[in-house]
Amino acid sequence: MTTDARRASSPLEILLLIASPADFPSWSREQQRDRNRRVLEWHDFIRARNPSQVPYVWGTHQLLSHTDLSPLNAMHAAVYRVESMAEYDELMLEDPLRDCSRYATFQLADLMHDHERDLARFNKIKSELFGNKDPASFPEYQKLRSLYTNAPDYVGKHKPQDPPNVPHDLSAKFSGESKLQVLIVETNTDGNQDFDDARQLIIYEKVLWWADYASKLITDGILTHGWTLHNFCNAVKFEAVREGAAAVYSVDSWEQFDSLYTLNPVRRAGQFWSVVLQPAQQQFEQDRRRYEVSLRR
């Protein structure tokens, strides 16, 4: 199957991060109990559609922020796989949490699909800036380029590839949590929009290195699930164009995660959303206990 044919036949995949409302602690106990009950209904809703329409689902640990004091946040993560936006809308209409939660939604794309697009964009801007000439023959560009790092040593050493993205089977026996899993959603910053074309070209080169970084982590068995994000801004307010990626790191310790995360070539040129994941089955048990406790209050 050709690349274009594969894309045409691929279903839509949308990552949802579903969180309790920011003012949930101030809700009445009756309202809190109602949402806690709906969370259990959501688990049933997901299990009934796993793995066909919901191939990936996670719970989250209560590690929130080291920059702000935050209320405890009950968050769930899932990927909906649908054939059309109409099917997605139907899922959202049936979602038991839709009227009592906050949502972040990300339209996902294959890593390699996006890498091809990134490479074409890099070559297009390079051609528009320099034509057929070597960029090294432009002293002003070389002066600007000298302010940025050169390619990391892992660039070019691993075959570009998509991660395994093994679906979750919620009907399988749960054997416990064995690895630390961290979901990182990263996008460009607003400031990138103001860069001139030469500086943008340097950033796009770093984005190409990110594909090498991801391939290294995939080869090493670290990046278990990952996608890039289709171009999208914000349906609620005007905002700069967002491009980025969502990746799940599976590591043995925070020290290992730190050492790998510092290798990210766009770490200092983007903004990041970090979520510590846990298995959905484990999250269900915690949510069930939370509901039972709310009934006794």
Given a cut of 50, whether residue 154 has pLDDT beyond it is: yes
**pLDDT band, residue 246 (cuts 50/70/90):** very high
pLDDT, tens digit (0-9, with 9 covering 90-100), for 206-244: 999 999 999 999 999 999 999 999 877 676 666 666 778
Dist CA 163 CA 71 (whole Å): 34
| Residue 138: both structure tokens together | 């432009």
pLDDT of residue 214: 96
Q: Do domains 3-109+282-295 and 111-277 have the same CATH topology?
A: yes
CATH 3.40.50.300 fits 111-277, yes or no: no
- The three-class DSSP label of residue 113 is helix
Domain boundaries, the chain: 3-109+282-295, 111-277
- Report the residue count for the chain: 297
pLDDT of residue 9: 55
Q: Which long-range contacts (CB under 8 A, 24 or more apart) does 196-200 make?
A: 197/125, 197/128, 197/129, 198/129, 198/140, 198/141, 198/144, 199/144, 200/125
**pLDDT band, residue 96 (cuts 50/70/90):** very high
**CATH of span 3-109+282-295:** 3.30.70.1060
Under 8 Å between Cβ of 59 and 183: no
Percent of the chain with pLDDT over 90: 65
Dist CA 15 CA 106 (whole Å): 5
**pLDDT band, residue 4 (cuts 50/70/90):** very low
Give the list of residues 6+ apart from residue 59 with CB closer than 8 angstroms, or none. 76, 77, 277, 278, 279, 280, 282, 283, 284, 286, 287
Percent of the chain with pLDDT over 70: 92
